[in-house]
Amino acid sequence: MYKFLLLLGAFLSGLIVNADSYDKAGIDLAKQVKSKTIHVGIGNFVYADSKLMSSFSAMLRDELATALAKNARFNVISRERLSDLLKEQRFQSSDLLDPSSKVININVKGIEGIVRGRFYYRYPQITVFVELVWLNGGEIKSTKMLLNADTISTDILPANLTKSKNNIVDIRDRIKKVPHDFKITLNTVGMKRNFKYGEKIKFKVRTEKDCFIAVFCHQVDGSTVLLFPNPLGKDSFVKANTGILIPKTKNKKFNIEVGPPFGSDVVQVIACTRKSILHRKVEQLVKGPAGTRYRSLTRGLFSKAITESIDDKSLNTSNVSPQWSEAHIIISTYKNQKIIK
């Protein structure tokens, strides 16, 4: 019992130290802010030099939001409110939440900065680099936190880390032939990129040209699922500047709900201003009763359809080539674990 109490005391002490680390990070950032108050949103915290996230990423986001909210220099905007602000001003991208994005020079009414960062893990220490990015000009203020891994009660590393990395490399290799001739945006509703077991996900796509699109989810286990077109929306054509939702129906059978295999999936949209072989093939896949759910296809079929489509000279009319575009995002999922505070 005595030994147990010592261990419990050390654990609780570690929790206090970690809590102090979050508060100190807020103080360090506040010292670098000249304004009396700054409205900030909380972005993503990714693992090392990747775009992968874990349940620890979610914990970091929540703990820093709490710490910053206690500091008079910061007015923390919820992720839901941040999403609404961007939607109101037709700012479609969530790249500003991603620490790998470059300098941001935009004006978004109601928000001045984003707090985001990266973490590195070498037992028993977790090093977290936190940055405050000013949206108007891209100036970056930063600080560092050192946390004790033994006091963290959730998974620190992203799920299926090696498979997730291999999955991303595999997909990027398969799509490298696809040109980027016009702008297309792909995001989740609410801009989240990290989801726990049982959460539901909706995606939104918007293109600047009339085109045909196909939306895929390349899962960490090597499988690929066709999200759009689907049995309830069999036409792959979309009009310019008209956002579409996936799923757009309230039919529970078409909910996209997080479950195993956990890890990082690549969700991708491929677009063409003419109906290519790829888009004809995906439309063929979804023919049939509307009651059935999303269709699956092999990576081999996916790659072959892309190659055939890009090389298809019959799409040229009057020596005018079709225009292509592609966008993809990384979605990290994890088991729902209780975080002890």
Judged by DSSP in three states, 74 sits in: strand
Helices 277-285 and 299-311 cross at an angle (nearest 10°) of 140
pLDDT at 292: 67
- Tell me: the pLDDT tens digits for 265-322? 999 999 999 999 999 999 999 987 666 689 999 999 999 999 999 999 888 877 788 9
- Tell me: the pLDDT tens digits for 137-191? 768 899 999 999 999 999 999 999 999 999 999 999 999 999 999 999 999 998 8
- Tell me: the pLDDT tens digits for 231-279? 888 999 999 999 899 998 777 788 999 999 999 999 999 999 999 999 9
Report the predicted TM-score, pTM, of the whole model to 2 decimal places.
Answer: 0.88
pLDDT at 15: 44
For residue 74, is pLDDT > 80?
Answer: yes
Q: What angle do CA 222, 224, 265 make, to 5 degrees?
A: 70
Domains along the chain with CATH numbers: 2-151 (3.40.50.10610), 161-334 (2.60.40.3880)
Residue type, 235: D
Residue with tokens 């054509």: 237
Tell me the pLDDT band of 6, cut-offs 50, 70 and 90: very low
- Tell me: the pLDDT tens digits for 92-115? 455 678 887 765 666 667 788 899
pLDDT at 103: 55
For residue 17, is pLDDT > 70?
Answer: no
User: Is pLDDT larger for residue 195 or for residue 88?
Assistant: 195
For residue 338, is pLDDT > 80?
Answer: no
For residue 31, is pLDDT > 90?
Answer: yes
DSSP 226-243: EEESBTTB---EE-TT--
Tell me the pLDDT band of 205, cut-offs 50, 70 and 90: very high
pLDDT at 287: 87
pLDDT at 106: 65
The set of residues, in sequence order, having a beta carbon less than 8 Å from that of 47 and lying 6+ positions away, is 53, 54, 57, 118, 119, 120, 121, 157, 158, 161
CA distance 214 to 234: 11
- Tell me: the pLDDT tens digits for 121-141? 999 999 999 999 888 776 889
Length of the chain: 341
Q: Which helix (H) or strand (E) holds 171?
A: helix 161-174
For residue 341, is pLDDT > 50?
Answer: no
User: Is pLDDT larger for residue 108 or for residue 341?
Assistant: 108
